Amino acid sequence: MTDHFDVLAIGNAIVDVLASADDDFLTSQAIEKGCMRLISAEEATALYAAMPPGREISGGSAANTTAGIAALGGRAAFIGRVSDDQLGRVFAHDIRASGVDYRTPAASGGRPTGQCLIIVTPDAQRTMNTYLGSCQELDEMDVDEALVKAAAITYFEGYLWDPPAPIRAIRKASAIARAAGRKVAMTLSDVFCVEGHRADFLHLLESGQVDLLFANENEAKSLFRTDDVAVAVDGLAALAPLAVVTRSGKGAVVVSGSERAAVPVTPAARVLDTTGAGDLFAAGFLTGYTQGRMLKDCAIMGTIAAAEVIEHYGARPEADLVARVQARLG
């Protein structure tokens, strides 16, 4: 069977609109810097009208991760809902042209394709304002049982935890994967998601439904309501067989039982736009993991992929990631 995948990802199908602006713009719009927030269609229209000129580049956290996996030589598939409109065609084109298997049918007649209005400040920080649009219409019917069984890892994003239908889609995929002896991976996505769905996320972990968890330091601390990263790391170790905590400029820590392996960041040639750094870290780690590499090398692959994506605008890789990994790890 040729349809074997290293990773099947389920996430929001989003086109990013990236604009450069200074901190004063965020203040004038009463937007907290560095976060992700959900906005309504009306809020999106008003914010877009106030924004500087943009660049439209396909995004979506888990979708970016699959584009990264494909760029690293892995086999990836994606499930997520666009609308049958121009931006939906942009999303579908770009993810397929990245080498990712993408077959979710576009919705018609409903909300437009989801967009993330991203303000990139001079310090390269990204502040995200997401209008989910048709992403909310993803449902169980879009989860193809054969596709889940064909993937070594099914990976989903915490960002999906808002409307009920996508959550049902994840539960279905997760159940199929576990029944088939496949691994399930998850990212907590954002402090905003953890704060809104802490009980759900903890239940998923406590009931052993997640084999591999990705979180950044702030998300991990929020999950356990602690300011102490060591407490958060120990908390994750107790709830997931394998967890990876990313720490921005301080690198990442791999957590497995009582073992801890820390890796530093891979320096970027320049830091222009940090959008997608976490998504590409997950891409590197997951690709290394499905290649059977040592956990520390998986994390190094994550830092290599993250370093590339922050060197340019947009959350998907542009440079030759395979060459960068080979130069570092062979």
Which residues, including other chains, have CB under 8 Å from residue 8's CB and lie 6 or more apart? 76, 77, 78, 79, 147, 148, 150, 151, 153, 154, 155, 173
Q: Which is nearer to a second copy, 94 or 162 (CB)?
A: 94
State the minimum distance, in angstroms, from the CB of residue 51 to a second copy: 6
Give the separation between CA 241 and CA 270, rounded to whole angstroms.
35
Cβ distance 38 to 162 under 8 Å?
Answer: yes
Q: Which is nearer to a second copy, 135 or 143 (CB)?
A: 135
Q: Which is nearer to a second copy, 97 or 322 (CB)?
A: 97
Strand pairing partners for 5?
Answer: 151
State the minimum distance, in angstroms, from the CB of residue 44 to a second copy: 11
State the minimum distance, in angstroms, from the CB of residue 2 to a second copy: 21
State the minimum distance, in angstroms, from the CB of residue 52 to a second copy: 5
Nearest to 63 by CA among 327, 324, 266, 317: 317
Q: Which is nearer to a second copy, 113 or 174 (CB)?
A: 113
State the minimum distance, in angstroms, from the CB of residue 67 to a second copy: 7
Q: Which is nearer to a second copy, 190 or 279 (CB)?
A: 279
Q: Which is nearer to a second copy, 94 or 279 (CB)?
A: 94
State the minimum distance, in angstroms, from the CB of residue 87 to a second copy: 5
Helix (H, G, I), strand (E, B) or coil at 78: strand
Q: Which is nearer to a second copy, 48 or 226 (CB)?
A: 48
Backbone phi, psi, residue 47, to 5°: -65, -45
Burial of 82 (0-12, 13-18, 19+ CB in 10 A): buried
Give the separation between CA 200 and CA 194, rounded to whole angstroms.
9
Q: How many CA atoms lie within 13 A of 101 on its CB side?
A: 17
261 token code pair: 């392996």
State the minimum distance, in angstroms, from the CB of residue 71 to a second copy: 10
Q: Which is nearer to a second copy, 123 or 318 (CB)?
A: 318
State the minimum distance, in angstroms, from the CB of residue 287 to a second copy: 18
State the minimum distance, in angstroms, from the CB of residue 76 to a second copy: 14
Q: Which is nearer to a second copy, 76 or 255 (CB)?
A: 76
Query: Residue 102, Cα to own-chain centre: how many angstroms?
Result: 16
Alpha helices in the chain (DSSP H): 23-28, 41-50, 61-71, 86-97, 145-149, 164-179, 191-206, 217-223, 229-239, 277-290, 295-309, 321-329
Residues near a second copy, by CB under 8 A: 19-20, 48-49, 51-58, 67, 85-87, 90, 93-95, 97-98, 112, 313-314, 316, 318
Q: Which DSSP symbol is given to 248?
A: G
Backbone phi, psi, residue 68, to 5°: -65, -40
